[in-house]
Structure 1
């Protein structure tokens, strides 16, 4: 009886022990697996619903520059084959990489999948191949998934989310999962603010989730997707990329390279920064430029061309762009103060004048180029080598503006010089003894009135004075800039050139001319090229 009671007690205790074991762990594992399966199914379902889709087969379609960009050194490590695009990297004692960029911007939720095969790793150090996506947010997040070989020959898939911290890119947020596959699919999916990292091993169509990170919902950069192979030490890798597939709420392509923007005429109101397009080139032409106001501010003359002086035409219009009139062949026009005559340049014919209706054409200097009428009407000026010729309109006497000493301080003087509104000074672009370009001011009849205001490696020819006769508007690449911009600078000693802030970032702004009353500036401009929606073509 006692033995039976002890047996029952053992059974009871065992039953209690079993019932109190953490059975939930097993249930949680099953539930977690089920949840992951459901999550991947939901990701796949959403992917199928995305309206913007791009698919590329490397074996059939190669590397068209419309979609892909890579440096020369990267291209040297790539090879087009029947089975796809081979990417190789051989480290030489330090981190070495081969990179290929796919030029798309992804907006909203997205999926990026890259198929690979023929993966080979050599050497004891780290090697990896994978894809990364650059997000255009404050921290410049880059989610990345790599099929990698770690130290001690561990085969893994590595996931990371790098970011900018204190000006430096931090790669601390990364983890690995086992992966032996030498072919398969790497996938990055974003839903809302979450990035999911997935891999399909070998020939299976089933993805497994290997990580997820919190990111942002911001658009990616315009050239967002990168294929990357990297190795350290003496390690090397080789992989064959076969396909890339994008699916997103929106896909944008960057503007095509090498396309010249259409340059129209814009008028800027200084008081409120209002910017208004007043004229655009006629059909078949690509740009308007060299605009100049009449002395009463009611008329604008300019040139119009296909991009060169051989096709250039002289245009006259009202200040609002109406009554657009073609006056004939020529470029860089300048109106007399009474508005009755125009002086301009003609290829092969030099400095020429005509009536403002296009009649009575006369050549005044067959060797001259780039001329401007003084606001007081007393002189016509044009560049002559490293000097400026001044023609007295009453006596026809010609004099040189710069002294021999001043000539030594300038190189070749360029066209489209600018008179001050009081006709006392001329500003112009010239070369410099140091091989750069410089913005120079010289006073009429005053040898001491000579200043080099600004020096740049990239400067446009056309310059103009503000109404105060002290500040100049010009186009140049400023010291802290990445492109040529409209800028102002004062004649005051030690003055610093400043970007004309009323012009939007990224705009092309050339050939400025300020109105005599100081209220407006007309310039040839174009907004920055915009990306286009991907339509599947």
Structure 2
């Protein structure tokens, strides 16, 4: 597979980015195409640089780094050839963007702490599953579930499930091989919970976007995975849905997500404070999508943007 890579060699201790242009566009390709590109910036959005572009896949999202910083995984499909999300695949590359490989069908990859396994969602049959990082040994966790994310301590996987007609945050305890819901039966306030939720660095909390069943408002919330009564906080409410991807900084004091405005901005907030989210001042030559991920060392924020028409 041919790829266009503008990258920075990432290690867990790297603090300096040097852009690499490993190959050029084909001479016969149009200079402007409506594709997505990954950019990298400081955690505050400063000094953004184009980082990685997949030539073969115009739609790329849900980026995530392996915990050791050596790999980058994301989902993708060939919209330029008429593919839709039903054709979504997972790609894994080296963190500098080199050697990209499709490892199989699926979306929203999330690495285990050891980096040797990936939990993901699959459109058909719908559900969440685990596979080896090379795409082998695929095992379904739960049919009909969605948006699975592995906890940093490796002991749990969080995902959306439906119970009693409501969306719930389900926690799969890998040590005990048990599953439990964060909201008590029948008490979830949400009609839907979106994909690409994010764990706190201490594996005690999850941040997600949900739609309140009572007033139809969209809410960005954090909740303690031991149960709603152990901690639950609404940080942002809107009549229009923000973007569904959340990223929690490794230090624990910042969460980033995409706004509900057009053009979209990236917003940040400290989950320990009672302050409204504030915009990151990011300027790139494209329209920000909202897929976000921090590098494991916390030095950089990865996000995507789509080329302007």
Deviation at 1:392, TM superposition (A): 1.1
Q: Does 1:474 pair with 2:254?
A: no
Query: How many angstroms apart in 1 are the aligned matches of 2:215 and 2:253?
Result: 26
| Unaligned residue ranges in structure 2 (runs of 5+) | 1-31
2:277 corresponds to which residue?
497
1:348 corresponds to which residue?
124
- The count of aligned residue pairs is 266
Counterpart contact for 1:402–1:442, Cα < 8 Å = no
**Which of these residues, 432, 455, 471, is aligned with residue 237 of structure 2?**
455
**Cα separation, partners in 2 of 1:460 and 1:363, compared to 1, 3 Å:** same
2:7 corresponds to which residue?
none
Q: Does 1:416 pair with 2:196?
A: yes
**Cα separation, partners in 2 of 1:404 and 1:362, compared to 1, 3 Å:** closer
Query: How many angstroms apart in 1 are the aligned matches of 2:49 and 2:115?
Result: 24
Query: How many angstroms apart in 2 are the aligned matches of 1:426 and 1:521?
Result: 19
1:279 corresponds to which residue?
52
Query: How many angstroms apart in 1 are the aligned matches of 2:285 and 2:273?
Result: 28
C-alpha distance after superposition, 1:96-147 (max 9, x if no partner): xxxxxxxxxxxxxxxxxxxxxxxxxxxxxxxxxxxxxxxxxxxxxxxxxxxx
Q: Does 1:324 pair with 2:104?
A: no
Deviation at 1:497, TM superposition (A): 1.3
Deviation at 1:464, TM superposition (A): 1.0
C-alpha distance after superposition, 1:475-498 (max 9, x if no partner): 122xxx543221112224431211
Query: How many angstroms apart in 1 are the aligned matches of 2:194 and 2:134?
Result: 28
**Which of these residues, 155, 165, 185, is aligned with residue 378 of structure 1?**
155
Counterpart contact for 1:271–1:519, Cα < 8 Å = no
| Unaligned residue ranges in structure 1 (runs of 5+) | 1-258, 530-537
Deviation at 1:328, TM superposition (A): 1.2
Q: Does 1:363 pair with 2:175?
A: no
2:21 corresponds to which residue?
none
Larger radius of gyration: 1
Please provide the CA RMSD for this pair.
2.2
Counterpart contact for 2:33–2:307, Cα < 8 Å = no
Bigger helix fraction: 1
2:193 aligned counterpart, secondary structure: coil
**Which of these residues, 289, 292, 298, is aligned with residue 64 of structure 2?**
292
Query: How many angstroms apart in 1 are the aligned matches of 2:299 and 2:110?
Result: 20
1:415 aligned counterpart, secondary structure: coil
Query: How many angstroms apart in 1 are the aligned matches of 2:155 and 2:133?
Result: 18
1:322 aligned counterpart, secondary structure: coil
**Which of these residues, 35, 55, 76, is aligned with residue 262 of structure 1?**
35
Q: Flag the structure with more relative contact order, 1 or 2, with Cα contacts below 8 A and sequence separation at least 6.
A: 2
Counterpart contact for 2:268–2:279, Cα < 8 Å = yes
